[in-house]
Structure 1
Amino acid sequence: MDFEMAFCCINDQEDVDEQLIIRRRSKKIRLRMNWYAIYDDIDFQSRFRLSKEHFELLLNTIGCSLICRRQWNDAISPTTQLLIALRFYATGSFLIIIGDFSGVSKNSATKIVHRVSNAIAKLSKEFIKFPMQQDDIIQTQARNFKQAGFIRVLGAIDCIHIRIQSYGGENAELFRNRKGFFSLNVQAIVNSKLQFMDIVARWPGSSHDATIFNNSVIKARFESGEFGNGLLLGDSGYPNMPYLMTPLTNPNTPAEILYNEAQIRTRTMVERAFGIWTRMFPALSKGTRFKTANKTMDIIMACAVLYNIIRMDIEDNVDIAAYNNLLVNYNEDFHQDERKFLIENYFEACL
């Protein structure tokens, strides 16, 4: 009897082992295509947004931070990691699809996207910055002046909602914006070349545009006089300040109407930049599905850096001498009501 029971136990154990063996999946070796070598520059740029020249520049800058510390067999190279992240930004697809395209697993694709995004986001101080030297400030103002004849403008400011998936928890509703979906409210300042000069990507969707600006570093820099008498242009959601020009609610005189037209036409550069940026990187317009805000912020900052890299070769010639001659009569310190001063003196004279 004892022999029969022992025999049955052995058979049962063998059945269990067989089930374990059947359920265990064998490791799959996936083919990783070298898309950088396969595509020419035109096809490469249409799929990854960067030209091969810019791709090499970026890879040489962050490549060291993407090298695996442990030399595993078949380790994913920095080139492949950067291609995976760029493909995600350029399509906004599910990470399992990005992994299939690149020959890696979904988990690997997820880790790579976050690692690369963090590395690119750290370059923001190098590629997203305000002009500091006086000559650079004058050049920026002269380029912006060409838009609609508004003098002393350094940039246009506005916010855009980047859709996210709810992070859950007690503070989940803070991310629901006035339009009803969850988002991060991202503030940006743009110049006439449609480049980002400043970007803030850490506020939940329920935050008002003016609240973000009032708590930003760029406001403190303007109030400290770091940019001289340079101006920002914003919509009616911002308060009218000596260095922040907003449109008039009810313009009456010809000078006020001309001021509003110039202000609105010049301010559209930030709206155009948002449109190009989100179409260039659909990962922003389709929305992200990450579990924490920090990971989404890295994606936003990385896409902003890449956007500026793409647009940094754009030439925009401007007549600095002619602008300086015009600026002589209006190159004073801020007045108590700078908007009123510009309307009564500059725009009145333009009629």
Structure 2
Amino acid sequence: MEYLSSDESDMELLEMIDEFDEESESEENLIQKVYKARVDYMIVLNNYEFTYRFRLSKSAVRELLDLINPYLKVKSPRNHGISPLHQILLALRFYALGTMLVSVADFIGVSIASASRIVNDVSKAIAKLYPRFVSIERHCNEEFYAIAGFPRVRGVIDGTHILIQSPNSNIGEEFRNRKGSFSLNVQVVCDASLRFQNVVARWPGSSHDATIFNHSDLKGTFFKLFATVPSNNHCSLLTEYCEQGRLANSWLLGDSAYPCKPYLLTPILNPTTRGEQLYNESHIRTRNTIERCIGVWKRRFPVLALKMRLKLENIQAVIIATSVLHNIARCHNLEEVDAEVHIPNDEMNIDEEIIHSPSSDATERRTLVDSWFSTL
């Protein structure tokens, strides 16, 4: 199912103008252009300035260029075609500034239409790296245990809302969240090192966190993110791993919006014993990892904290691409950089209703409390 934005015609018009400019063979229809000099920012900026402007270090950008260079093409056969490096830098600049395509285009020295096309192309190219950089296979039980003494934790899960413009009137209300804004509810799982293990970016803002989780397996409702990324790499991986026991006797931790399962442990709503209280305290401190991860992700790439005005499939590509870039930044041990634009505080912290699912199974949680936390 494909959802189209309300001002899609504007974006299509820009793309048509750009295509006409590049493909027209009629000399009398060509307008004399003044080409802006493209700066080699790898040379003119020092390491700090480069990382501040593009959110990644020079070495990380070189690695990224090597990985996605086969997917990027110089669209124009003329001498002023946009190199793969400048295409990457333009997209990174867009992620750092939000939706200001004019500023992004001027910074690199291209037209607004070209900037729009490049952001979409680069985002989808980076998203192809998802299987390489975002994986739930990584073992991190000991790292989680070091946080608050919670044993056998493989990952922590939560949902976060990404603001979008109103889609068309036929399906727009599906994307209106509980705060009245239009958004995507993105399910994320991270490890103790704040690296993403799973990202699902296909559900409208009205969807409950538990609904997203319950339908993220191969048998559930399935939407294709975009044609260039294999769907089973990130839409269905999480619950498939859980149901088949591939978490190797480990748990996910989630808040009370999720049903308690043998593989997904949630807080005890009304703790009465000391063991239950210790369980909740450890659970909360460990689960805080996902909130920190989301915060770091959105501060490094402010486009996620602002309202995106792109086609829905391109918004999904940006979300997946920035999750890949976030993990690359963590792999390179890059320090967190301040946002270059103002980010609204807690704009999309939407508290989900506590559910009481009849399918919940708290047996594993009860056993853990009795055999571990009650003995501390």
Contact 1:163 1:287 in 2 (8 A): yes
Aligned partner of 1:265: which letter? R
Match of 2:10 in 1: none
The one-letter amino acid paired with 1:182 is F
Residues 64-73 or 257-266, more deviating? 64-73
SS of corresponding position for 2:369: helix
Residue 161 (str. 1) matches residue 187 (str. 2)? no
1:227 and 1:272 map into 2 onto residues whose CA distance is 23
For structure 1, the 5+ residue unaligned runs are: 1-23, 316-334
> Whose helix proportion is higher, 1 or 2?
1
Give 1:226 shift. Answer: 1.1
- For 1:55, which of 50, 61, 68 is the aligned residue? 61
Q: Which moved more, 1:63-72 or 1:113-122?
A: 63-72
Secondary structure of 1:36's aligned partner: helix
Indicate whether 1:303 and 2:322 are aligned. Answer: yes
Inter-partner Cα distance in structure 1 for 2:211 and 2:160: 14
The aligned counterpart of 2:180 is: 180
2:48 aligns to what SS in structure 1? helix
Corresponding residue number in structure 2 for 1:238: 258
Of 322, 340, 343, the residue aligned with 2:369 is 343
User: Does 1:276 pair with 2:302?
Assistant: no
SS at match of 2:270: coil
Residues 193 and 314, structure 1, Cα contact 8 Å, conserved in 2: no
**Can you list the C-alpha shifts for 1:60-96, whole angstroms capped at 9, x where unaligned?**
1111221226623311100110000000101114111
| Deviation readout 1:196-237 (Å, 9 max, x if unpaired) | 001100101011100100011211221111122110000000
- What amino acid does structure 2 have at the position aligned with 1:52? K
2:175 maps to a residue whose letter is: F
CA contact (8 A) 2:75 2:82 kept: no
Matched, 1:260 2:280: yes
Q: How does 1:116-195 map to 2 (within 5 A)?
A: 116-131=122-137, 136-137=138-139, 140-195=140-195
- Residues 95 and 110 of structure 1 are in contact (CA less than 8 Å); yes or no, is this contact kept in structure 2? yes
Is the partner of 1:117 in helix, strand or coil?
helix
Map 1:219-234 to 2 at 5 A: 219-234=239-254
Q: Identify unmatched segments of 5+ residues in structure 2.
A: 1-29, 217-235, 335-360
Q: 1:314 Cα shift?
A: 4.2
Higher relative contact order (Cα pairs below 8 Å, separated by 6+ residues):
2
Provide TM-score, normalisation by structure 2: 0.78
Paired AA for residue 284 in structure 2: I
Percent identity reads 45
Structure 2 distance, partners of 1:259, 1:174, is 37
**Quick check: which has more Rg, 1 or 2?**
1
CA distance in 1, matches of 2:43, 2:150: 47
Q: Is the 8 A contact 1:121 1:302 kept in 2?
A: yes
SS of residue in 2 equivalent to 1:286: coil
Q: How does 1:32-111 map to 2 (within 5 A)?
A: 32-68=38-74, 71-111=77-117
What is the root-mean-square deviation of aligned Cα atoms in Å?
Answer: 1.6
